[in-house]
Amino acid sequence: MDKELIRILHVEDDEIDRQLVKRILVGCSRPIEFNIESVNRMSAAIERLDNRDYDIALLDLGLPDTSGIESVQMVKRADPNIPIVVLTGTGDEEIGLLAIKNGAMEYLSKGMALEELLVRTILYALERKKAEMKIKETVEIKSEFISMVSHELRTPLTAIKEGIAIVLDEAAGEINDDQKELLDIAKRNVDRLARLINDVLDFQKLSAGKMRFDMQEKDINEIVKEVHKTMVCLAKEKGLDFSFKAEESLPKVSFDSDKITQVLTNLVNNAIKFTEKGSINISTNDGENKILVSVSDTGCGIEQEDLPKVFRQFEQLAKGGARKTGGTGLGLAISKEIIEQHRGKIWTESEIDKGTTFHFVLPVKERRKAWRRKS
């Protein structure tokens, strides 16, 4: 029977430990051949990873030219796809878990248990990597399919929208009131479908890390004022007061204007949709090394047990079955992704029949730099 070949890069500066690992692997009773290459410095490991292919890396965290979690990070930068098993002499559970958080597949303590666990851990790490690659491939295929279908839908949708607009403008002839009403309904539904497609495309891009951000330092109040100006008529149509309270002289923040506008527009749209009477307010405040933006309403509110679900993708919440819903359930999930891409945070507070407030914060870059210079 042909043996399965597993190519291993062993990064270890202790000769006794290198020999122990070699003896365990060479003496393996399974139909496996381990091809082991050993190096005693991280610089040598990086050079090997740049020039050769390995199935797995066994990594000591105490090397002459690097130590601790930095070792894991350097290997992952050199080869993001290689599975890493950390071999640590400290037996420190916290270090092992930190290594896994930074990209290692598993960790083992050097000792008597190594004889029994090393081979099994290597095989487990390799199988897990294969499973991850299959899942990644499936996700990429799904993402490409969603993107393709969404783009293909846009072309006929644009033609339908233009056709409706031409007839509504009576460029193709006069129409009566009943016809105009039906065309208005059709136009609103075409616009809604366009928004749904855009949501799906945006979420797909964010999930795949393909959405570009044009980060520039600006005054957040200018963006909020523009959103307020754009949407005040929509609130008035529903009989709602819509106010904006800005804290003056806020420090500039680095953000993508279009993306933050998208977040604010989504939050205000939701506030208008779920508020039957009362008011909506946008406010900005200066926090400690951050800017706080809040959108409050006096609407129906959200049950406390539902608050953790608010930012989940495709999640739509209902209050006793009476809350109107629509859309893809992606708006808040997209907003969360956008804010987190800005290294900010978004959350909500709510009370049934008293209203809901969405908050998000954006970090102030200049102050962080100034603090570093002083420290």
> Average pLDDT of 268-297?
92
Q: Is the pLDDT of residue 168 over 90?
A: no
> Average pLDDT of 325-346?
81
pLDDT of residue 374: 37
* Residue linked to tokens 């740049």: 50
Residue 359 CB-density burial (10 A; 0-12 exposed, 13-18 middle, 19+ buried)? middle
Q: Residue 234 in 3-state DSSP?
A: helix
pLDDT of residue 326: 52
pLDDT greater at residue 374 or residue 57: 57
Rounded Cα distance between 91 and 84, Å, is: 17
pLDDT tens digits along 152-164: 777 788 888 888 9
Beta bridge partners of 87: 60, 108
pLDDT of residue 371: 35
CATH class as words, domain 138-207: mainly alpha
Q: Residue 282 in 3-state DSSP?
A: strand
297 within 8 A of 271, measured Cβ to Cβ: yes
Rounded Cα distance between 72 and 84, Å, is: 8
User: The domain 216-372 belongs to what CATH superfamily?
Assistant: Histidine kinase-like ATPase, C-terminal domain (3.30.565.10)
pLDDT tens digits along 108-120: 888 757 877 899 8
* Residue linked to tokens 């990064």: 11
pLDDT greater at residue 370 or residue 141: 141
User: The domain 4-111 belongs to what CATH superfamily?
Assistant: Response regulator (3.40.50.2300)
pLDDT tens digits along 69-95: 999 999 999 999 999 999 887 666 788
Residue spans of the domains in the chain: they are: 4-111, 138-207, 216-372
Q: Is the pLDDT of residue 139 over 80?
A: no
Q: Is the pLDDT of residue 315 over 60?
A: no
Beta bridge partners of 287: 290
pLDDT of residue 30: 86
Tell me the residue type at 315: E
How far, rounded to the nearest angstrom, does the alpha carbon of residue 1 sit from its chain's CA centroid? 46
The mean-pLDDT minimum among 78-87, 284-293, 318-327 falls in 318-327
pLDDT of residue 91: 62
pLDDT of residue 370: 39
Mean of the per-residue pLDDT values of the chain: 85
Rounded Cα distance between 269 and 360, Å, is: 16
Q: Is the backbone of residue 277 left (phi > 0), alpha (psi -120 to 50) or beta?
A: beta
Query: How does residue 4 score in pLDDT terms, banded at 50, 70 and 90?
Result: confident
Instruction: Determine what percent of the chain is predicted with pLDDT higher than 90.
Output: 42
* Residue linked to tokens 């809350």: 323
pTM: 0.54
pLDDT of residue 97: 85
pLDDT of residue 322: 42
> Average pLDDT of 352-356?
91
pLDDT of residue 88: 81
pLDDT greater at residue 200 or residue 375: 200
Q: Is the backbone of residue 297 left (phi > 0), alpha (psi -120 to 50) or beta?
A: beta
Q: Is the pLDDT of residue 282 over 90?
A: yes
